[in-house]
Amino acid sequence: MGDNVRNVIIIGSGPAGYTAGLYTARAMLEPLMFAGYMSGGQLMLTSDIENFPGYPEGIGGPEMMMQLREQSERFGLEVQDRNVEKVDLSTRPFKVWSEGEEYLTDSIIICTGAESIWLGVEGEDEQKGRGISTCATCDGAFFKDEEILVVGGGDSAMEEATFLTRFASKVTLVHRRDVFRASKVMYDRAVAHEKIEIRTFRQVKKWLSDEKGLTGAILEDPRDGSQEEISVTGAFIAIGHTPITGFLEGQLETDNEGYLIHKEHTMTSIPGVFAAGDVVDTRYKQAITAAGLGCQAAIDCERWLEENLH
């Protein structure tokens, strides 16, 4: 191994990345992390995390990410708050480019996560992480006895709407057409719930708010452009996620939706390249499961380096 070749580069800095950083640092692999410009990932958009074991009072998303960073840096993780533009996985050592600089590494752990897709309509940016969320498991409990709007017609929207009935007094689910991608069982469960009203041919045109937060939305019927106002104090957008894999330029195998695939434990289709967190997780998408996968990827990576290179 040349002096300028790192043992491991971690790309991405959510709970998966920092946990991988903590474990590889404690294994004396001197990991380097490219944390991205928005270090901390999706949890930076969450207000309070109440479902991560060990925090009886809950913890703010950004605060948790700061603590995870501090903890892994204490053991020697080197963090650079930069994005990775591209990688070359065709030869060894692998090449990673950040801000035009080239880095060489024997292994990579990809923890770049997935971005929720937002509607991008007027008034949304101001209410993100406040009245409007993309994660019912994270934020649903903040809307106890309130009226909530859910947007989407797939399994995620059905699941979020059904989950939110635990807290909300009423959940209105709006979908832009009358055909649903959701599986029948999940659609039926939502339709049958007394607190859920499903309204088809409705699209959010604009979010409404006052100084206290979200107050409602203007809904539009895409067939004739007619509009109506709905009053809600919480809204959940469930129109899908996109895994962040653009910088890989198709060098790793993915499923049909673009999520990376594990071939053996947490190893991707290229030996020496591992993946953890929402970039591979189509099912759970929780901070705790991402952290667990980050730990697994770090252990797999350490063993792979031991068996193959060191």
Binding region for ligand NAP (CB under 6 A)? 119, 151-157, 159, 175-177, 181, 203, 238-240, 282
Least distance from ligand NAP to the Cβ atom of residue 164, Å: 14
Place of tokens 């992480």: 129
- The tokens describing 2, both together, are 């040349």
Least distance from ligand NAP to the Cβ atom of residue 234, Å: 18
- Residue number with the shortest CB distance to ligand NAP? 154
End-to-end Cα separation, the chain, in angstroms: 8
| C-beta separation of 109 from 272 below 8 A | no
Q: Is 29 exposed, middle or buried (0-12, 13-18, 19+ CB in 10 A)?
A: buried
Least distance from ligand NAP to the Cβ atom of residue 58, Å: 24
Q: Which of 3, 48, 81, 139 is catalytic?
A: 139
Q: Is 125 a catalytic site residue?
A: no
Question: For residues 127 and 203, which CB has a smaller minimum distance to ligand NAP in the complex?
Answer: 203
Q: Is 301 a catalytic site residue?
A: no
CA-to-CA separations, 109 to 20, 94, 230, 249, 272, in angstroms, rounded: 8, 12, 45, 16, 8
Least distance from ligand NAP to the Cβ atom of residue 210, Å: 25
In the DSSP assignment, the letter for residue 117 is P
Q: Is 111 a catalytic site residue?
A: no
Across 74-92, b (16+ Cβ under 10 Å) vs e yields eeebbbbeebbeebebeeb
- Annotated active-site positions, please? 135, 138-139
